[in-house]
Amino acid sequence: MPATDFNHGTRVIQAGQTPRPIALANMRPIGAIMVAPNADNTKFPLNVPVSFFSNDTAMKTAAGTGGNVNDIFDAIEDQGVITELVVVRVAAGTGATPTDILNNTLTNIVGSGASLTGVHAFKGAQSRVSVTPRLFIAPGYTDMRVSNAANPVVTELVGVATRLKGMVIADGDASSKEAAYTWRQDFGAQKRIYALTPAGRVFEGGDYVTRPLAGRVAALFNKRWKEKGGPYFSPSNQTIGGIGGPSRPISYYHGELDHEANWLNVRGLATVIENNLLWGNRTLGYNQEAGTGDANDMFVNVVITLDAIDESIVKAFRWAMDQNMSSHLGVAIVEQVDTFLGELFAIGATVARGRCWFDKAVNSWADLQSGKLRFEFSREPAPPLEDLIFGAHRDPYAFEVLADDILKRLNQRAA
């Protein structure tokens, strides 16, 4: 009996499987917590993700003034780049004292995972506004410790960033290197935090005031990635626009080991050197000085590159789901991943050409019969060049060359 439906005539059926290009996951959208007491409630309802581009003047006007509005919009604008934003507005806290007001504001920012308020509202951004934020900031609300313990906003944002494969860009304590390190140690080994210290000096109202840097640095991530063509690069060694300098001086000396910039960097804290230069490649995932954490999670661009690659591959194979398993399908999947990994190597995102392969040992007949098909792939992101070393050597043989040259010239003169 024929295996296909009857037909008297000519027709075309789709035979075989063709690899598709893999689209890169968008790692650029900035998720910003906004405390804006004078915002338009229609444009910015509380605890609801709102998406727009950073050059949208109508939305920026609707955000009003006060709170941390300038630390988001002006900070991004000062970097000369347009970014996609997902803003979650939360209510400013109330209370009888500044401490009560701050603590209640922090409570509103932390929000509830059950009702998706505060930072948890970012989890619903994809379904509401079709954008997944990746770089999370809450300017002005991450640098303080509460009750001699970790900052609750950063702690809560880490959970959101882990779920959405993002990075928390957090201002740490700016008062001293020791205070910054105490703040840093509250989070242990946490690869999803890129931490900054100190703050910046920004000209506002006729004078320089101390303001957080997270919004500016989030924009620098975007700026570097747009210039280089992908989220594979560290934001370090870029000028931070719109600041007159750090809130306190940070020492840095070319070719020297003992200065505060090194002291902070080796502990996973990015900083500002030479008045306005962002300096630091590391997450809080590894503390080289203390020997804690995982060195694989050391560099911020490595963590983000791995997220981007994995997310891109996961999303690329909807077309293959529910197709009948066959060798044609398997080959198409391997070729698609191989092509993507080759492209990553060609643009410098990885240090070697990754590959995809089928391992029969982990594909039992029972799994295949149950509709499970597994492939392996390798990828090794390129780390940033952080320590460039030149070995300087004396060359005594040069004097032999000099003596021979003197004799040669004297002999020529005598002749």
pTM for this prediction: 0.93
Question: Does 13 score more than 80 pLDDT?
Answer: no
| pLDDT at residue 22, as a whole number | 87
Is the pLDDT at 87 greater than 80? The verdict is yes
Cα 378 to Cα 328: distance, rounded to the nearest angstrom: 22
Residue pLDDT, tens place only, 154-176: 999 999 999 999 999 999 999 99
Q: What mean pLDDT is predicted for residues 362-379?
A: 96
Q: Using 50, 70 and 90 to split pLDDT, how confident is the model at 4?
A: low
Which of 195, 210, 233, 220 minimizes the C-alpha distance to 277?
Answer: 220
pLDDT surpasses 60 at 402: yes
Q: In the 8-state DSSP scheme, what is residue 244?
A: S
Residue 388 pLDDT > 90, yes or no?
A: yes
Task: Give the model's pLDDT for residue 5.
Answer: 73
| Phi and psi at residue 356, to the nearest 5° | -120, 140
78: which residues sit within 8 A by CB, 6+ positions away?
Answer: 216, 219, 241, 242, 243
CB 352 within 8 A of CB 345: yes
pLDDT band at 380 (very low <50, low <70, confident <90, very high): very high
Does residue 356 carry a pLDDT above 80?
yes
- Going by pLDDT thresholds of 50, 70 and 90, the confidence category of residue 144 is very high
Per-residue confidence (pLDDT) for residue 68, from 0 to 100: 97
Average pLDDT over residues 23-42: 96
Integer Cα distance of 273 and 270 in angstroms: 10
Band the pLDDT of 1: cuts 50, 70, 90.
very low
Kindly list the domain boundaries of the chain, sorted by start residue: 30-305, 317-377
Burial (CB count within 10 angstroms: exposed 0-12, middle 13-18, buried 19+), residue 340: buried
As a whole number, mean pLDDT of residues 135-147 equals 97
> What is the rounded average pLDDT for all residues in the chain?
95
pLDDT above 70: residue 19: yes
Per-residue pLDDT band at 198 (split at 50, 70, 90): very high
345 pLDDT exceeds 50? yes
- Quick one: CA dihedral 271, 33, 122, 229, positive or negative? negative
- Band of the pLDDT at 10, cuts 50, 70, 90? low
Q: How many Cβ atoms sit within 10 Å of the Cβ of residue 223?
A: 20
Closest-CA residue to 119 (of 58, 192, 225, 55) = 192
In the prediction, which pLDDT does 414 show? 84
Give the helix/strand (H/E) hosting 152: helix 152-164
